Amino acid sequence: MSMITTSQFKAGVIIKYNNDLCEILEYQLVKMQQRQPIVRTKLRNIKTGNVLEQAFRSGDKFEDVYLEDKPIQYLYHDADKYHFMDSESYHEVVVGSAMLGEKADFLKENSEATGRFSGDELISVELPASVVLKVAETEPGVRGDTAKSGTKPAKVETGAVIKVPLFVNPGENIRVDTRTGQYIERA
């Protein structure tokens, strides 16, 4: 078991605090006159997503958490559970909709993703930067609309509603940025 001290803090480091895995979002060393320095941090609980601010004494030690990224494949969802398969060991991993959040709007069956594991426990899912989705419904484009730079809502095959340019028609494939949910280009 490796330990990490407050002097090794940086954004993105995962530590074990109060038996929960927490990601350091921000940190700041505060030196006070004739007192021991403290480190003010902003931590995000990985399971719940809650953000808390906490101050530690300089030199405090924490358990460093080893994380492993593995390829996973999205299979299906039922109610608020999403089922993935570890592409290396072929074990099924089930996660709640709270872990995925808005990322769930861009999941197609059999699509690839990256799972971040702590031991055998899946703690987060990262989608590719962009995905290709088919436009299910939108208002048809009108000749001459390409000159204007307007947008219209379009519902894609996964059920998400995305703003697309006026020239995009139903049945076309488009590339969508999974981080922002914005239209990138036709595919």
pLDDT in tens, 105-137: 888 888 899 988 888 888 888 889 889 999 988
Region 46-65 average pLDDT: 86
Which one has a higher pLDDT value, 79 or 183?
Answer: 183
> CA-based diameter of the chain, in Å?
74
pLDDT at 175: 92
Give me 108's structure tokens: 């197609």
pLDDT at 48: 75
Burial class (CB in 10 A: 0-12, 13-18, 19+), 7: exposed
pLDDT at 145: 53
Q: Give the integer Cα–Cα distance in Å for 163 and 38.
A: 46
Please give the model's pTM, rounded to 2 decimal places: 0.69
Q: Give the integer Cα–Cα distance in Å for 140 and 68.
A: 45
**CATH 2.30.30.30 domain residues, the chain:** 3-64
Amino acid letter at 159?
A: G
CATH code reported for the domain at 3-64 = 2.30.30.30
Residue 148 reports pLDDT greater than 60: no
Indicate the CATH number of 68-126 among 1.10.510.10, 2.40.50.140, 1.10.3720.10, 3.30.420.80. 2.40.50.140
Q: 180 falls in which pLDDT band (50, 70, 90)?
A: confident
Indicate the CATH number of 130-186 among 1.10.1370.30, 3.30.70.20, 1.10.357.10, 2.40.50.140. 2.40.50.140
**CATH 2.40.50.140 domain residues, the chain:** 68-126, 130-186
Spatial contact of 125 and 114, defined as CB atoms under 8 Å apart: yes
**Between β-strands 130-138 and 173-177, what pairing exists: parallel, antiparallel or unpaired?**
antiparallel
